[in-house]
Amino acid sequence: MKTLFARLASLACCLFALAGCGVDGLPPFLPPFPPPVTTDTDVDAPAFEGEVHLIAVHDGPAGVSDHETAHVSVSIDRPEENVTLVLSSYGPVIWTVDVVTGTLDTVVLAGYYTQEVVGLPDGVEVRERFYYADSSGSTNPDYFYLDHAGEGGHHRCALETLAAELGVTEFSSFMGEYWAGGPYIIDGVQDDARLAVEYPFVDFDPDLPRLEFEVTIGDVSGPLSEIAEVTGPSVDAQQLQKVVRYGDTDRYFGISSHEFFELDVASGTRTEITPPVGIEPLSWTSGITVDTIGDRVIISTLGGEGFLYAYEPETDIWTVIASLRNQDLSDIAFDRDDDLIVGISERLELFAYDSTGHLVSEIRIDPEELPGIRDATRDHGLGHAMNIAIDHPYAAIAVTPPHHEPNDCIRDNLRFYVYDMDRDVGGLTWKGETAPESSCRSEGDHLQRQSAEEDAYLR
């Protein structure tokens, strides 16, 4: 069994929002996302018969001013099929629907600004699930909207809400664009795993190994009860972000926003450690790892052009290893086999630096090999983050939801991936709630995570 000793996370494997990080191709705009929507799934509902087709745009056609009502056309050509149509837009849209063939039963209007639909046959049910219910400014607390790219944690949660409301386990098709185009023609179903409510599925290359991690896990809703079971009294859960163990010692170091600190697990207190005069102050720390060859703690930051720092606990010496030259890293890990510092970005790139900070290689991960990972990187700035651990040639990646997220659907969605850097293959090995009790067990000074399914775990 291949073994990987690395820290992945603390605080239920949660990490703070990476300020300044973006995703290529996305507009620099982050709309308000919906609050949690609850649906009573315990009530028996009749089996759903028919198709559910999804259309999502962000705003009107290119050139239409912000929040100006747009007109979008949809055509349904589904002979002998009963159709439910979900129309979603962040901006205000008047949807014109033409039923060429088939039977349109229901239209769900989702969005932030007011949505309207015209051209419907008699008897079609219209459900309004957009935020601004009318021009008077009244609002609908049960609103949601879909992501135009079909990705993101909030998009997946919207699909779960829809599925529970309609009584389906998968959808029939999805079409989406940032700027509304059209006419959108619904004339078939799509074979796409992402249309399943349970996507992504735990299914990966059988040649990938099972990996073992040292993991520090905390309870994000209150004191660090699970850490306390192993390491002593609780500390402030809202302030801890990432913690690493220094070699085989009982010393722990962590980062939090602009801070680097040592955590005393016996007393539950922490002591901030700051660079001396002459060393660039820490700004937006993003990653931390231990160089077990050089006996130093490595820290990555996002502020300014970003830097790699080194701190030597035995001598209290700080050094700036190198500038990251505006390459934002979500996390870093130490590859002992090759004496490399490996960073991962939200663009799913791996950057390997030697001990002096010189970039020696980079790999762009095919997101198709890590199904669903874009759900985290799509929701940039919301507090999702990636933690990484390395045992060459394998990279283990934990996608962690934000601890401040109000939506349980988002907050309880932690995922582990394994990626073979040499073969460019990988997969989802575990997904579930953040720190469920059934998957955490004490192992000496650490906790190990294991799923109930023997063939789908990282341990």
**Structure confidence at residue 212 (pLDDT):** 54
Structural domains in the chain, sorted by start? 51-195 (no CATH), 225-449 (2.40.128.630)
Which tokens belong to 119? 């051209």
Which tokens belong to 182? 């059209």
Alpha-carbon distance 266 to 36, whole Å? 37
In degrees, to the nearest 5, what angle opens at C-alpha 90 toward C-alphas 167 and 109?
Answer: 35
- Residue 398: how many CB atoms within 10 A of its CB? 24
**Structure confidence at residue 433 (pLDDT):** 60
Q: Where are the alpha helices (DSSP H) in 78-200?
A: 153-166
Buried b (16+ CB within 10 A) or exposed e, 337-366: eeebbbbbbbbbebbbbeeebeeeeebebe
Lowest-pLDDT choice from 122-136, 211-225, 281-295, 442-456:
442-456
DSSP label at residue 421: T
**Structure confidence at residue 63 (pLDDT):** 65
Phi, psi dihedral angles at 41 (to 5 degrees): -90, 0
Cα 246 from chain centre: 28
Taking only the tens place, the pLDDT of each residue in 270-288 is 899 999 999 999 999 999 9
Q: Is the pLDDT of residue 25 over 60?
A: no
**Structure confidence at residue 209 (pLDDT):** 64
Taking only the tens place, the pLDDT of each residue in 311-344 is 999 999 999 999 999 999 989 999 999 999 999 9
DSSP label at residue 37: -
Alpha-carbon distance 452 to 215, whole Å? 17
Q: Token match 């905390």: residue? A: 218
**Structure confidence at residue 452 (pLDDT):** 30
What percentage of the chain carries pLDDT values higher than 90? 44
Contacts of 239 (CB under 8 A, 6+ apart): 256
